[in-house]
Amino acid sequence: MDAYSSVDANASVAILMTMILGALMLTKMGKIKQEIKRCSPFLFYYYFAAISVLWAGMQSLAIAGYKAVEVIVGFFSVMYIMHCLKTTRERFTFILVSLTFCNVIYLIMFLRSGLGHDNAFPLLAITEMLLLLGCVRYNILQLKQVKHHFVVSALTIVFGTSTASWMSLIIGLFFFFSTSRKGINLGLALIVAVLFYGAYQLWGDVIYSIVFGNKSKEMIESGSGRRELWTAYIKGWLESPVIGHGFIVGEKGAIAAKYIAFATNTAHNMMISVLVNTGLVGLFIWLYFLWKQCLICWSYSLKKNSYALTCFPAIIAMFVNANSFPVIGSEWSPVSPPIYALIIFIFVYIKQDVITNKSLAR
């Protein structure tokens, strides 16, 4: 845990900038109080994570307390930017631009290092790809307006070589093709399932090679070693099942190292990450957030809202992918602002779009 409880030069700069940004956000809280209220299912988890230093130990304040505050401040900052935008379409475009910006950073790193495999950026890329497909399909934006976004996201998916991202994209595409302008259609979902099965029967070898690459059967069955890692983290969670070991601390400490020789500083699974960090209490709050977000998209999809129909397949794929690497939950990093933006958009602006359209129709 020592490596994660100390504060180096880079962390010092991050803490200073978070404090400055936090102070700035305090002056803007009155303008975004309604947005904060609507996003409370997400924020509740990080409020709980912030106070987890009480049982993680004050020596963990630098990592557990700070990281939770960093997420909250970053989330409020993105929220304020979206508040300043004028229309729902502008806010949706902001999400796409943010996703593309992060993926361009990945492509630059790939060109400089030649090392393509990554877990975080392909998650952004499949999310963006599904959002792009939806926004073109439902006439939110035209293809000519977003064609460069398609190129960037496609390259990131291909060069990222993440099996979990490919599988999540396929699941997202299933939900994408199971919807129409009339909303989510269970009958259509059955037809799509049959078509997907037929495609696998015809081109199974090609699909297999794309998704799994050169991985052996043993690697695939063990999740590239994740199965043993997950088992170790679950054993660690059972030491403190109700409230966990503390946000970030449980996952990045030596909890799993007691049970496995090659323990890393990530659980490589969103749900296990939440469990080992904040226990069953945290998991209950986190599941409420996931359920609420899906419910919003589902309910407004049934009302034929174009934005809900577009976002629903994307968040499903994103959540599935996060169970291979907890980009959503604990591994917040430079990839986080676009995800914050998508979460805020779903909780705040899909409903607002419906209200606006009703007002215009009168």
pLDDT of residue 201: 58
Positive/negative CA dihedral, 308, 273, 339, 151: negative
- Give pLDDT, residue 203: 53
pLDDT of residue 358: 53
Tens-place pLDDT, residues 130-146: 999 999 999 999 999 99
- pLDDT score for 362: 44
Q: Tell me the domain boundaries of the chain.
A: 2-361
Per-residue pLDDT of the chain (362 residues; tens, 9 = 90+): 444 445 555 667 777 888 888 899 899 999 999 999 999 999 999 999 888 888 887 766 667 777 888 889 999 999 999 999 999 999 999 999 999 999 999 999 888 887 777 878 889 999 999 999 999 999 999 999 999 999 999 999 988 877 888 888 888 888 898 887 776 666 666 776 677 556 655 555 655 555 555 554 554 444 456 788 888 888 889 999 999 988 887 777 667 777 776 656 778 888 988 999 999 999 999 999 999 999 999 899 888 899 999 999 999 999 988 887 777 766 666 788 999 999 999 999 998 766 555 544 44
- Of 132, 133, 113, 129, nearest to 121 by C-alpha is 129
Q: Cα angle vertex 283, ends 18, 29, to 5°? A: 35
In angstroms, how far is CA 37 from the centroid of its own chain?
21
Q: Tell me, what's the pLDDT at 331?
A: 64
Listed in sequence order, the DSSP H helices in the chain are 2-5, 9-26, 33-38, 40-50, 53-56, 66-84, 88-113, 120-137, 143-160, 163-177, 186-212, 217-221, 226-237, 249-252, 270-302, 306-321, 336-344, 350-361
3-state SS class at 116: coil
CA–CA separation, 35 and 76 (whole Å): 9
pTM of the model: 0.86
Percentages helix, strand, coil for the chain (3-state, rounded to 5) are 75, 0, 25
Would you state the pLDDT for residue 184? 67
pLDDT the model gives residue 178: 84
- Give the per-residue pLDDT at 81: 95
Instruction: Tell me how far apart the alpha carbons of residues 174 and 185 are, in angstroms, rounded to a whole number.
Output: 12
What per-residue confidence (pLDDT) applies to 218?
52
pLDDT at 154: 93
